[in-house]
A and B are shown apart, each in its own frame.
Chain A
């Protein structure tokens, strides 16, 4: 554990809580891609199956349970409780175009051809692109609520902090995981355009809206 890893995890946690609270308090999931949230629920489920097979630490176990629990709670709020507010027409990204290639890649490029390991690899690859339906939705509607941009910023920042964590671990522990590093780089790059808009617009008090 180092400072980048810890702040990365906390940033991830903050993102998840911000989204849950936003939906809960406003009683609405307008502007939120349910498809991205389903993908994140799949990501956590396939990655954290190791809860059943290996214990790493109390921190590790509790964070995993919180992440996976919150992911399902978010999906429940969007598709069941506040379904009437879900903007399905604008959430039109075709997720099979992500899941199928990512599944194929996980079978082809992994650390070990074992079921749990392939599912872990699948989750790493899928996480790197899971935000695309949300970004697609924003580009389609041309705007995002400010609280939604805070969510996206925390979510993007988390993987960027993990990149520093991996540099740290390589330097001080000789540890590296090429699959996680490459996927983490891809994931972070996908947020760059959004980061730019967040800094130049949202942090200056303006709403995030894209030119028509």
Chain B
């Protein structure tokens, strides 16, 4: 998937 957050990486 290439989409907006939430982002789980730091």
Contacts and interface: CB of A to CB of B under 8 A. Distances in A.
B1 to A, nearest CB: 6
B2 A177 contact: yes
Interface stretch (A83-91, A95-103, A111-119, A190-198): A111-119
A112 B3 CA distance: 8
Contacts of A60: 8, 10
Nearest to B1: A175
Contacts of B2: 111, 176-178
A111 B4 contact: yes
A162 B6 CA distance: 18
Main secondary structure of the interface of B (DSSP, over half): loop
Interface residues of B, number: 10
B7 A120 contact: yes
Contact of B5 (A12, A116, A165, A174): A116
A136 B4 CA distance: 33
A63 B10 CA distance: 8
Nearest to A184: B9
A174 B7 CA distance: 15
Interface string A58-79: 0010011001000000000000
Interface of A: 5, 9, 12, 47, 50, 53-54, 56-57, 60, 63-64, 67, 110-112, 114, 116-117, 120, 162, 165, 174-178, 180
Interface of B: 1-10
9 contacts: A12-B10, A50-B5, A53-B6, A56-B8, A60-B8, A63-B10, A110-B4, A111-B4, A177-B7
